[in-house]
Amino acid sequence: MTKGNIIKRDLSENKTIFRGGYMELEQSIINRFKSYLIENEKTSTTIEKYIREVKRLLIFLNNREPTKSLLLEYREILKQQHKAQTVNSKLSAINSFLYFSGFNDRKIRFLKVQRKAFIEANRELTEREYRNLLMQAQRQGNDRLYYIMMTICSTGIRISELKYITVNAIKCGQTEISLKGKNRTIILPKELRQKLLIYCKSKNIQDGYVFQTKNGLALDRSNIWHEMKKLCKTTNIDPNKVFPHNLRHLFARAFYAVEKNLAHLADILGHSSIETTRIYVGTSISEYEKTLRKMKLII
């Protein structure tokens, strides 16, 4: 990148100024933005996503000041390339960066998205498919993946929260999760605890993380994602619906089917808004069609 105007934060006056600079100055503000996200207790996944979106925005700006008109133009480009929900996810990252950079008055409005009345069939992991994945993991001798999937699906935790499943947590029967500035207690079902104790004994895991690397570190989420995808090669399950977060969705639907308490489920999942929880328990298209048939309005 040649010389040009580039965002640089003047921390002493807590505002953003533009001045001539080189590529390292752009990297400098990205690094400072990353530090800002860490200080605000964003998860590693969120930080990675926000940094990626900011870099794309800076490429579009091409050393130009992020004026309102340019930002709106960028939103239009995103609208042409992505679905509304994806665009809003990207705008969250951009607005956070604008706030950090002193351009809070230039934050961009999100696109209005009407909540879907049902879940698309190609995105919903069924209980039967979940059980097939478990059996396939066992057949392949992948015990760790077997217990990881079972743990996520039976507790509703995020994959990033697997590090809170420790040997001590199993013995206590619960674990305290601290994420995004919120704390919540997760109960580990008795049957799960018994199975995990057997797993730990077989792997000689006496303390620390239950799911760990050979060096005793927390397991990397990308490895789990790829291992789950591999299971689809020997099953008839659509790979597009096989990923860790869908196990969390399956837990939510199963829990809500038993206890139709959306507020309680939101607390268990760690959601700040019940509207987010509503998405998790949306009715599938097949269930929606069953309801329409029961109405018997077609004569």
Q: What percent of the chain has pLDDT over 70?
A: 87
Cβ atoms of 20 and 13 closer than 8 Å: no
Structure tokens at 139: 């057949």
Mean pLDDT for 31-48 is 88
Among 23-32, 58-67, 94-103, the range scoring the smallest mean pLDDT is 23-32
d(CA 65, CA 59): 12
Mean pLDDT for 153-169 is 95
Structure tokens at 292: 């329409």
Output the DSSP codes for the chain. Answer: --SEEEEEEETTTTEEEEEEE-HHHHHHHHHHHHHHHHHTT--HHHHHHHHHHHHHHHHHHTT----HHHHHHHHHHHHHHS-HHHHHHHHHHHHHHHHHTT-GGGPPPPPP-PPPSSB-GGGPPPHHHHHHHHHHHHHTT-HHHHHHHHHHHHH---GGGGGG-BHHHHHHTEEEEEETTEEEEEEPPHHHHHHHHHHHHHTT--SSBSSB-TTSPBPPHHHHHHHHHHHGGGSS--GGG-SHHHHHHHHHHHHHHHS--HHHHHHHHT-S-HHHHHHHTPPBHHHHHHHHHHHT---
Among 45-54, 104-113, 175-184, 202-211, the range scoring the smallest mean pLDDT is 175-184
Cβ atoms of 157 and 148 closer than 8 Å: no
Mean pLDDT for 220-237 is 90
d(CA 66, CA 71): 6
Amino acid at 296: K
Res. 25 pLDDT band, cuts 50 70 90: low
d(CA 238, CA 234): 11
pLDDT digits (tens, 9 = 90+) for 89-139: 999 999 999 999 889 999 999 998 766 656 666 678 999 999 999 999 999
pLDDT higher than threshold 70 for residue 170: yes
Handedness of CA 210, 254, 277, 112 (dihedral sign): positive
pLDDT of residue 117: 58
pLDDT of residue 49: 94
d(CA 201, CA 152): 20
d(CA 113, CA 145): 36
Residue bearing tokens 């809500």: 256
pLDDT of residue 268: 93
More confident residue, 221 or 1: 221
d(CA 157, CA 151): 8
Looking at 1.10.150.130, 1.10.3720.10, 2.60.120.10, 1.25.40.10, the CATH number of the domain 4-106 comes to: 1.10.150.130
Cβ atoms of 237 and 133 closer than 8 Å: yes
pLDDT of residue 5: 43
Cβ atoms of 136 and 235 closer than 8 Å: yes
CATH number of this structure's domain 121-291: 1.10.443.10
Q: Domain residue spans in the chain?
A: 4-106, 121-291
Among 67-71, 129-133, 259-263, 294-298, the range scoring the smallest mean pLDDT is 294-298
Burial of 207 (0-12, 13-18, 19+ CB in 10 A): exposed
Residue 172 CB neighbour total at 10 angstroms:
12
pLDDT of residue 159: 92
d(CA 192, CA 251): 14
Looking at the chain, how many residues does it have?
A: 299
pLDDT of residue 216: 82
Strands 15-21 and 174-179, by their bridges, are unpaired
